[in-house]
Amino acid sequence: MGKDVEVGEHEYSAKDYQDPPPADLFDAEELTKWSFYRAIIAEFIATLLFLYITVLTVIGYKSQTDPAHSSDQCGGVGILGIAWAFGGMIFVLVYCTAGISGGHINPAVTFGLFLARKVTLPRAFMYIVAQCLGAVCGCGLVKAFQKTYYNTYGGGANELADGYSKGTGLGAEIIGTFVLVYTVFSATDPKRNARDSHVPVLAPLPIGFAVFMVHLATIPITGTGINPARSFGAAVMYGKEKAWDDQWLFWVGPMIGAAIAAFYHQFVLRAGAVKALGSSRSM
């Protein structure tokens, strides 16, 4: 098949890829298919596993560095280890579920893909519900197995750190989520997939690495949300006032970041606005 080739001043623009058609806002037919419900189950289980492993890691680190029980403040996995736990689990779970549900595991990712017309409204809604329920159940398992540690060390709940304004926390969540969702769009771009045959296999890697890098930057500020389901599930099971006071940051920030990433990729990098304008003029 022909590829975009540039020789001297001559450019040949024959496509070697095909953009999938935009998803309908509502598709009644998909509600009758088992694949739709299988994908919802996959999102639920993936988010459950994600919260179970990552919240356990956070609580384990805090317990190992608690001055009341240990004099070694350099013990445990550290912030680097926590970031690896979050990024590594996203890499694993996206790899496992990408072929079933798309491997969203995050309402912000689902929202961004919905705005880009990659998924229908019913699918986006059910994914977000499944992700939130999975997050609650994942944190519930941690609390059931280690209730004392869970309550003592904050339950892995996201909270704005002392010394930071709500504006700073909101900005951190917006930018962090933008990095993640922008990476998702780029890693799954059909144009990139067509030119680099290894990209579909490696797509979970940059997505997981984006989560890792954002955690390194924003753990000291908000504990790193960038995933409303992760923040919601931890807040529900922890149940303390501080976690709920800041909860809006971990919904508004990621949704804004996801929307900006969707707009940037679709209408700037992929020139969606230019294509739409050209199509309207040709009519």
- Mean pLDDT (whole number) for 2-23: 55
Structure tokens at 15: 């496509």
Residue 87 has pLDDT above 70, yes or no: yes
Q: Residues 85, 212: contact at Cβ < 8 Å?
A: no
Could you tell me which residue, 12 or 208, shows the higher pLDDT? 208
134 DSSP β-pair partners: none
Q: State the DSSP code for 101.
A: T
Residue range 132-157, pLDDT digits in tens: 999 999 999 999 999 999 999 989 99
SS3 of 213-274 = HHHHHHHHHHCCCCCHHHHHHHHHHHCCHHHHHCCCHHHHHHHHHHHHHHHHHHHHHCCHHH
Task: Give the SS3 label for residue 10.
Answer: strand
Residue range 155-186, pLDDT digits in tens: 999 999 999 999 999 999 999 999 999 999 99
Domain extent listing, the chain: 24-272
Residue range 36-67, pLDDT digits in tens: 999 999 999 999 999 999 999 999 888 888 77
5 DSSP β-pair partners: 12
Assigned superfamily of 24-272? Glycerol uptake facilitator protein. (1.20.1080.10)
- Give the CA distances from residue 93 to residues 48, 103, 203, in Å, rounded to whole numbers and listed in that order: 11, 7, 12
- Give the CA distances from residue 223 to residues 159, 241, 243, 282, in Å, rounded to whole numbers and listed in that order: 6, 16, 11, 50
The residues, any chain, with a CB within 8 Å of residue 63's CB and separated by 6 or more, are: 69, 76, 149, 152, 153
Own/partner long-range contacts of 10-18 (Cβ < 8 Å, ≥24 apart): 16/194, 16/195, 17/190, 17/191, 17/193, 17/194, 17/195, 18/190
In whole angstroms, what is the distance from residue 85 CA to residue 216 CA? 11
Which residue has 């880009």 as its token pair? Answer: 116
pTM as predicted = 0.86
pLDDT at residue 282, rounded to an integer = 47
In whole angstroms, what is the distance from residue 104 CA to residue 90 CA? 9
Q: How confident is the model at residue 102 (pLDDT cuts 50, 70, 90)?
A: very high
Residue 8 has pLDDT above 90, yes or no: no
Residue 272 has pLDDT above 80, yes or no: no
Mean pLDDT of the chain: 86
The residues, any chain, with a CB within 8 Å of residue 100's CB and separated by 6 or more, are: 38, 39, 42
